[in-house]
Structure 1
């Protein structure tokens, strides 16, 4: 009887000692388990083919765009087969914008589990730049982005007398003026010329010249010009200082 009691007490003591050891080891065991889980997730996401790149999708190109989805995919240069998590979306975006100047913006993102998504916005032309015998489409910010064989009927031609460092701001000013015009004036616009960013001149139908000046206060200048055109009787209008407009027959 005494031997049975002693044996039972020894077993209870061993169980308690084992339980105390487990309690002491529990934080370490939890850390090991978490490490194994994190390691498995890192391997699956970053190194395995479970979440690899299998497609590159493109959104935002109009049906009539001369650019194709293949053009955008090629510019992004995102290879298939590698882990989706390792795709450098910022670098892909930079490559798209650098190689395709006709795009005003591009966003590259990961669409889990297997797709790189590219969303683009094309530039909208507002004028055609006549430059050394070539014609280039220009957007409202003054970026020339595409050479065309002929002027689109709905766009006026802009010619510049500025060169060197003043050329870019002069083009931007001229394009900004055209972009700001209300539809009623745009339908009358034939051509634009500029020597500097502050000396934009418009030519309207009927061989009417308008000295616009800079792109500042364009909304106010447009209202003043519209009122003067309603009065008629002039071939030259100067609204460069909209509070003191002048006309010449």
Structure 2
């Protein structure tokens, strides 16, 4: 009888001994009050680690590696300028990470250094090139300056000085030095009014214009081929005046003087 009792007592003592040591991984999670990562939690953690690793690799590839660096710059869209002039003025840093190139700064630098450029689109052409898509200003009028000519675009911007007058571009003569409107409007606005008058003409009439003369804001005159003169008046109602002048030139081919300053009441003389 004593033997079995002793055996049972010994078994009870064995089961109620000190607990086994807790694994260090479990203790760490318990100290941080985090749940143990069971099988269902391991998947998102692994995905997060992969995302972080891929993001770090992408940043290194863009900025730290030698794979995606500037090896060339190409300009397109030039007419008067040469692609070499545009590339040199852009001053894009070679061998720099393509992603780090400040495209806005490149565009701004081009417009400042080459006023002939009206717009430029700076694009990254992966993996190694910068593209410069240029739109140049074109002269609507020219102004004589000593023995050279200043080109003026459709916005009235004086953007270039050239030794030879571009073919087919009318000359602008500003004779408003003593006119009250010069002090009121300023040279820039008077110049824009003259440019607007020329731009409002249809192509076949514009080709006949030799001189656009500005005496005041309300006194713009066009001199056409064949010693013909057009009193344009102010720069207002330009499209309407251009339409009336086109009709008069066709109806009175022998006339020498045309007045469209009031387009609803035009006048023709000198036929």
- Structure 2 length as normaliser, TM-score? 0.76
Once residues 84 and 145 of structure 1 are traced to their aligned partners in structure 2, the CA distance between those partners, rounded to angstroms, is: 31
Contact 2:122 2:130 in 1 (8 A): yes
The yes-or-no answer on 1:57 pairing with 2:74 is yes
Contact 2:154 2:195 in 1 (8 A): yes
Please report how far the alpha carbon of residue 86 of structure 1 lies from its aligned counterpart in structure 2 after TM superposition.
Answer: 0.5
Matches within 5 A, 1:30-69: 30-62=47-79, 65=80, 67-69=81-83
The yes-or-no answer on 1:240 pairing with 2:257 is no
Please report how far the alpha carbon of residue 209 of structure 1 lies from its aligned counterpart in structure 2 after TM superposition.
Answer: 1.8
**Counterpart in the other structure of 1:213:** 233
Aligned residues: 230
2:208 to 178, 188, 197: 188
**Counterpart in the other structure of 2:20:** none
Please report how far the alpha carbon of residue 197 of structure 1 lies from its aligned counterpart in structure 2 after TM superposition.
Answer: 4.3
Name which one, 1 or 2, has greater alpha-carbon Rg.
2
Once residues 242 and 49 of structure 1 are traced to their aligned partners in structure 2, the CA distance between those partners, rounded to angstroms, is: 67
Deviations 1:128-162 (A, max 9, x none): 11245541122222122221223234122111135
C-alpha RMSD over aligned residues: 2.4
Q: Which runs of 5+ in 2 are unaligned?
A: 1-22, 27-35, 177-181
Matches within 5 A, 1:85-234: 85-131=99-145, 134-162=148-176, 166-229=186-249, 230-232=251-253, 234=255
- Structure 1 length as normaliser, TM-score? 0.82
Q: Which runs of 5+ in 1 are unaligned?
A: 1-13
Change (3 A) 1:34 1:51: same
Once residues 55 and 234 of structure 2 are traced to their aligned partners in structure 1, the CA distance between those partners, rounded to angstroms, is: 60
